[in-house]
Structure 1
Amino acid sequence: MTRRPVAAVALVAVVVLSGCAVGYQPNVPERSEPPREDRLGYYDGYWYDDTFEFDAEEGLDEGETEAVVSRAMARIQLLRGLRFEADVDVELMTREAFNEEFDDVRRDPPEGQRALDNAQHEALFLVGPDRDVVDVRRRNQGGTILGFYQPSEERLVVVSANRPATLDDELTLAHELVHALQDQRFGLRPPAEATADAANARNGLVEGDATVVERAYERRCESGAWQCVEVGEDAGGTLPPEFNWGVYFFGFFPYAEGPGFVEHHRDDGNWSAVDAMHEAYPTTSAEIIAPEASGSDGYGEATVRDRNRGGWERVTVEDGPDAATVGRAGLASMFAYTAYAGERAGVIDRDEFRNTGSSGLDPDSPYTYDVPYTEGWYDDRLHAYERDGETAYVWNVTFDDAEDAAAFRDGYGRVIEHWGGQRRASAGGETVWTLDDRGRFAGAIRVQRERRSVTVVKAPSRAALGSVYAPARAPPAGVGAQSGAAAG
């Protein structure tokens, strides 16, 4: 998918046009003979540096569009050092048509997965208990997506700012073509059991790879070395009402941190290390943020013991993850969101998250997810529970050492208070807050640190905290060799 920073992910295919008159002959630029030697930079009759004699401002016909797509594929092969294994069909769509079809492109998750997803976003104070994160994402993304690629359908769509739709943004085309190339060479179907953190790690590689290539493509367009199509206004729409910055930050992570991760591993232009990671994806967003630690054993597993009683039932997901993990990307989004929403000053300043210069937000690296309170993240695990239409959760966040855990505990307390939480009691290393139902968030939260683990318990009321997570008859949640539920 192609996105641009919001101050402001894309996939590719050949164009389907309608309304052609009988006997119409598209204007197909002259093709070159294939090279005698096997060389990158040529595809289906066109070289990477070919110049076409047509005016894109007037709209490209079917033959012209096909030539631009083939030339772009030649350029992607040259920049990425890999060959396409098959042709790629590109479908053009107006913004209005995309918004109408978008709900069909994004399929609803199973109910258990939806409940778990809502619980982790509530734990991060991104989406309240009376909202559905699937709906929030859809509302957010309708105006910011420039194109997409569906691996399951091998379908590449570029969203056009023009009516009727024409190919008016070659950089979006280039980005999505990289995804098509990745799919052909490595396969892009995500594992069904991926947590949010694992998905952000995987997408950090996938989107970082595509963005690095897109930027190299853009430099050649801007220098005049390559003729490139760019017509009309940006296809990105305006921000929808009630745009949720926190959910946006959580989803934008791969585009912000992924390129730096890929560039770190692409030593002197050699893509072999990046190719290898497509066969064994990074597993945590922390690896993307700190690429020098990628592949190390510096991360482990956090444990939550189910101590629910009084009718609370654990949320399970058939053929999916049995717990949520938000990772450093999720924690950073939580702290950053406080600088953009709420009635109090942010827990961190915007400048601790945004990368700005004299001309504003850095388009290549707009945000940094290496923010205070997330340092030393080791793992986190969240279990969600349901009872009579109400939800609760238990969340363990574990760090490298007790000092990092204490910093996160203090920062998380500030987040709770940012959203109106009232401190009610502190004893034995734990603190309880309550939130009334007049704000976005409601219920009671208990936070306890033991050594390097912080355990967060959320229930609809203070009285219900003990039934969601009963007093321990065994050591409390912490670091363990097993991440599954255990009796206690």
Structure 2
Amino acid sequence: MVHRTRIIAVVLAVALAGVPVAAAAGSPNAAATAQTDSPPNTTHLSKTTDDATLADQHPPDPESDVLGWENGYWYNESIAVTPDDGLNDSELDAVVARGMARVEEIRRLEFEEAPPVEVISREQFSERVENQTANVTTATRLHQNVKYEALLMVNESTDAIGVQGQNQAGSVGGFYDPSAGEIKIVSENTSTPKMNEITLAQELFHALQDQRFNISSFNQSTQELHNAKDGIIEGDGNYVDYLYQERCEGEWQGDCIMPEGSQGGSTADIHIGLLQITLQPYSDGPSFVRDIHESDGWDAVNAVYESPPNSTEQTIHPEKYGEDEPTPVSIEDTSDDRWRPLAINGSINHASFGEAGLFVALWYPSYESLSNRIIPYNSHINQVGGGVDEFDPYDYNHTYTAGWDGDKLMPYVTDESSATNETGYVYKMLWDSPADAGQFQEGYEQLLAFHGAESVDGHENVYHIPDDQEFNDAFYLNRDGDTFTIVNAPSVGELSAVHAMAPDVQEPTETATDDGTATGDSETETTESTDETATDDETTDGVTDTDEPTDTTTTNGPGFVATGALIGLLAVALLALRRR
């Protein structure tokens, strides 16, 4: 069941509009650029100034392209727009040009070319997400279902891809599409959009990142790799947002376009657990980048793109960046003839969640129950003076998950899985020490207990969640030194069939009842009876062509969570929810 947000829906809608900043007339930015051609002192004009007066005050263009100037606009000059009634085409062009100049001035990097910016409606974006979530193979859909079922977040009767699509459709204010080099801004009004300058600035910066650092070439094929690389991609982007916001409120005298009111879609169906996994680089990334910038300057930040973080551990614990590389994990296939690893044509067939994903898996029961289960609710929120740390609102560090060294989740299927959605998996994790592995096992056993798991008599470390619970499966836990492995199957009798390390547990034998019907392992009967419903195009081998990485199920590209305002205000909402 998708856990519905409560008061968060309102807060998210406000967050997508950004933090309102009042427009005000003021003096020019005295600290120009270090370039030879720096902007002359200019007067910030009120947005109500007529075009003729503005043209008289327009500073001269440089003789060549310089930092802080783009397409006829300096970073510190006002522009003739009336944002209250939305932006027409010429106004949008001006906002984009000045936004590029401002990003250049802050980040000290020059655009190679202006990225196209298109405004699309919330309906268009939702349709785009729906089309892409629908256009996946059965194998890819099974892969996504197994992943989030393994974290005990999305049960097997729920479409995990649909849940991810709902998260995106309801919370995205803009994104950069690296395949086309284009920026899409999502607005409720496409003819005269009420642009949020901070949202635009982040997507402009993602285009700049791709031009200068080729971020679209980064390997982000698993959720862990995606979040790890986003430690620099989104960390740098949101740090630039933070500096941009500071200048809007300071040097630029409020001369930024920050329309009031909601620009978000419906957030009623957002899955907080899945969202909190994807938000990790947006929270830990900016502080990771800020520390490097303040210590060694922008050149040192630029160097990170040559060797981006390889794990979420490296941004949760920045001291481990460049010092503690994750260890590759291998899983030997010892399944029987009925079970096999899920094959996906043109993509990887495994998953990884890293320290961030495992932390959220152990924290999520506290959100579901609004109580301190496993990882306490407030342990996830960085609080300062009774409020939320606006720069780094979330904490993903806990003793249960610290000491992560590598993880790999391998889904297993049968010929019937495409019809029944009944799957298994082997989830192998490496830890820095046997003590770290034991800490995680302690937390994971509490997670199983939260979902109603019961020990199986006569078999140590074998558990079964009853049929009347939403994650009714069987589990075998094996800890060997610094390695912890979970084997999962639909029933205890099939655990050893998925992986030979699991003990051979006999299923209850069927007995005849007074009415002549049989009792026993109903799961096996269901699997066999639905075999004929699978069609040729629904095989779990993924014969339908796909080039999409399995962890990228919807629209590609960075910047899907609009701004730091969204993240911070969501944290405020979560804190308020806990205190109710």
Q: Which of 305, 316, 321 does residue 289 from structure 1 map onto?
A: 316
Q: Give the CA deviation at 1:105.
A: 5.9
CA contact (8 A) 1:200 1:285 kept: yes
1:467 equivalent in alignment to 2:497: yes
Q: Aligned partners of 1:321 and 1:193: how far apart in 2?
A: 11
Q: Aligned partners of 2:324 and 2:392: how far apart in 1?
A: 27
1:57 equivalent in alignment to 2:111: no
SS at match of 2:176: strand
Q: Aligned partners of 2:140 and 2:125: how far apart in 1?
A: 26
Partner in structure 1 of residue 267 of structure 2: 239
1:212 equivalent in alignment to 2:242: no
- Unaligned runs of 5+ residues in structure 1 are 11-25, 474-488
Q: Aligned partners of 2:267 and 2:196: how far apart in 1?
A: 20
1:433 equivalent in alignment to 2:463: yes
Greater gyration radius: 2
Q: Which of 415, 424, 437 does residue 405 from structure 1 map onto?
A: 437
TM-score (norm 1): 0.85
Q: Aligned partners of 1:113 and 1:401: how far apart in 2?
A: 34
Structure 1 residues 458-467 or 317-326, which shifts more? 317-326
| Alignment of structure 1 residues 130-279 onto 2, 5 Å | 130-162=157-189, 164-190=191-217, 194-223=221-250, 225-226=252-253, 227-241=255-269, 243-268=270-295, 270-279=297-306
Q: Aligned partners of 2:217 and 2:325: how far apart in 1?
A: 24
Q: Aligned partners of 1:257 and 1:341: how far apart in 2?
A: 24
| Cα 1:435–1:354 shift into 2, 3 Å | same
Q: Aligned partners of 2:63 and 2:190: how far apart in 1?
A: 42
CA contact (8 A) 2:431 2:437 kept: yes
Partner in structure 2 of residue 396 of structure 1: 428
Partner in structure 1 of residue 517 of structure 2: none
Q: Give the CA deviation at 1:412.
A: 0.3
Q: Give the CA deviation at 1:87.
A: 1.2
Q: Aligned partners of 1:412 and 1:451: how far apart in 2?
A: 17
Partner in structure 2 of residue 325 of structure 1: 352
Partner in structure 1 of residue 118 of structure 2: 91
Matched length: 451
CA contact (8 A) 1:193 1:320 kept: no
Q: Aligned partners of 1:421 and 1:248: how far apart in 2?
A: 26
Q: Aligned partners of 1:27 and 1:268: how far apart in 2?
A: 44
Q: Aligned partners of 2:138 and 2:218: how far apart in 1?
A: 18
Q: Aligned partners of 1:423 and 1:260: how far apart in 2?
A: 43
TM-score (norm 2): 0.72
Structure 1 residues 76-85 or 189-198, which shifts more? 189-198
Structure 1 residues 200-209 or 292-301, which shifts more? 292-301
Q: Give the CA deviation at 1:27.
A: 6.8
Q: Which of 424, 430, 449 does residue 456 from structure 2 map onto?
A: 424
Q: Aligned partners of 1:265 and 1:316: how far apart in 2?
A: 41
Per-residue displacement from partner, 1:67-95 (whole Å, max 9, x unpaired)? 11101100001111111111122112232
CA contact (8 A) 2:287 2:391 kept: no
- Structure number with greater CO (CA < 8 Å, separation at least 6) is 2
Q: Aligned partners of 2:144 and 2:279: how far apart in 1?
A: 17
Q: Give the CA deviation at 1:135.
A: 0.7
Partner in structure 1 of residue 367 of structure 2: 340
Q: Which of 377, 380, 391 does residue 407 from structure 2 map onto?
A: 380
Structure 1 residues 164-173 or 174-183, which shifts more? 164-173
Q: Aligned partners of 1:471 and 1:197: how far apart in 2?
A: 26
Partner in structure 1 of residue 523 of structure 2: none
Q: Aligned partners of 2:61 and 2:190: how far apart in 1?
A: 36
Partner in structure 1 of residue 341 of structure 2: 314
Query: Percent of pairs identical after alignment?
Result: 32
Q: In proportion to residue count, which structure has more helix?
A: 2
Q: Aligned partners of 1:461 and 1:117: how far apart in 2?
A: 21
Partner in structure 2 of residue 479 of structure 1: none
CA contact (8 A) 1:347 1:414 kept: yes
Q: Aligned partners of 1:106 and 1:50: how far apart in 2?
A: 43
SS at match of 2:149: helix
CA contact (8 A) 1:94 1:164 kept: no
| Cα 1:107–1:224 shift into 2, 3 Å | farther
SS at match of 1:375: coil
Structure 1 residues 46-55 or 357-366, which shifts more? 357-366
CA contact (8 A) 1:27 1:63 kept: no
Give the CA RMSD over aligned residues: 2.7
2:229 counterpart letter in structure 1: R
Q: Give the CA deviation at 1:157.
A: 1.3
